[in-house]
Chains A and B, each alone.
Chain A
Amino acid sequence: MKNPLTMKSWSPYVAGIGIGVLSWFALGVANNPLGISTAFEHTAALAEKAVVPQAEQTNEYFAQKAEAGKSPKIGLGWMLVAGVFVGASLSSWLSGDRSTENIPAMWRERFGGSAPLRLAAAFFAGALMMFGARLADGCTSGHGISGSLQVAVSSWVFTAVFFAAATVTALVLYGRTETSYV
C-alpha cells in the first residue's frame, strides 16, 4: 500500500472523518476546540500590549477577557495554528503537491496578471475575513467545524450565512465561468 502521507490527496470523506475524530480528541483531551482565528486575535492583543503597555488598563478588551478567564496568551490554540502551518507544509512537501503560482489562472483571466494587485487583494481580503471572524467570535474552523458539530445554533447560523455570502461574492467576482480550472 502506498504511504498515505505521500499521496496528493485523500477522499474528502476520509479527510472529513479524520477532522471529526481529531475534533473529539481536541475537545475531549485538550478541552480546546479546533479553531484558528482566536490565536490571531491573541497575537494582535499581545502585540498591542507590547507596544502600548498601558493598553491593558485603558482598553476594555483586556478587562473583559480577564474576567472571562480568556486573557490573550501563547497557549494551546496558538500552537495549534503553528502546527497547522507545519502539518500542511509537511503534507504538501511529502506529496510533491506544492503550488508556486502567485496568480491562479482563474484570477488571471478575470483580473489580469499583476502580482502586486493579486497580493494586495489577498492581503485586504484576508484582513476583512479576520475582522468578520472575530466579530462572529469564530471562523470556518471554530464555528464551521467545532461549533457545528457541537450543534451550537450560532455556528449553524454562521455557517449558512458565511456560505451564502461567500457564494454570492465569488459569483459576483468570477461569474459562473464556463472554463473549468478545478
Chain B
Amino acid sequence: MFDSPERLILGLVIGILFGILLQKGRVAKFSVIVGQFVLKDWTVVNSNRPS
C-alpha cells in the first residue's frame, strides 16, 4: 500500500523540482498548450528538444 518513507520523500522532492521546471518552462499554461496546437507558440516543442 505504501512505499518506504525515504522513497515517498524522494518522490516528493523530484515532483517539486519537476513542478518548478514545468511552471518556469510555461508548459502548464492554457495559452502555451493551446497556442502550440494551433501552431502559434512553440514553447512546448522547444522545451522538449534538449531531452
Q: A97 to chain B: which residues have CB within 8 Å?
A: 23
Partner of A83, one of B11, B25, B38, B46: B11
Interface string of B4-16 (1 = CB under 8 A from A): 0001111111111
- Asked if A22 and B31 sit within 8 Å, CB to CB, the answer is no
Give complex CA distance A86, B29 in Å: 16
Q: Which residue of A lies closest to B48 (CB)?
A: A16
A5 is an interface residue with CB less than 8 A from chain B: yes
Indicate if the CB atoms of B18 and A34 lie closer than 8 Å: yes
Residue contact A16 to B25, C-beta cutoff 8 Å: yes
The proximity string for A residues 1-37 relative to B, scoring 1 for CB distances below 8 Å and 0 otherwise, is 0001101011011111111101101100110101000
A113 part of interface (Cβ distance < 8 Å): no
A160 neighbours in B (Cβ, 8 Å): none
- Interface of A (DSSP majority class): helix
The residue on B at minimum CB distance from A72 is B1
User: Is A12 within 8 A of B14, CB to CB?
Assistant: no
Answer yes or no: A124 CB below 8 A from chain B CBs. Answer: no
Name the B residues within 8 Å of A92 (CB-CB): 23
For chain A residues 67-93, which have a beta carbon within 8 Å of chain B?
A: 73-92
**Contact, CB under 8 Å: A91 / B39:** no
| Cβ-based interface call for A142 (8 A) | no
Known: A25-B14, A89-B19, A170-B38. A75 touches B3 (CB 8 A): yes
A82 partner residues in chain B, CB cutoff 8 A: 11-12, 15
A selection of 5 A-B contacts at a CB cut-off of 8 Å is A10-B24, A15-B26, A82-B12, A82-B15, A167-B37
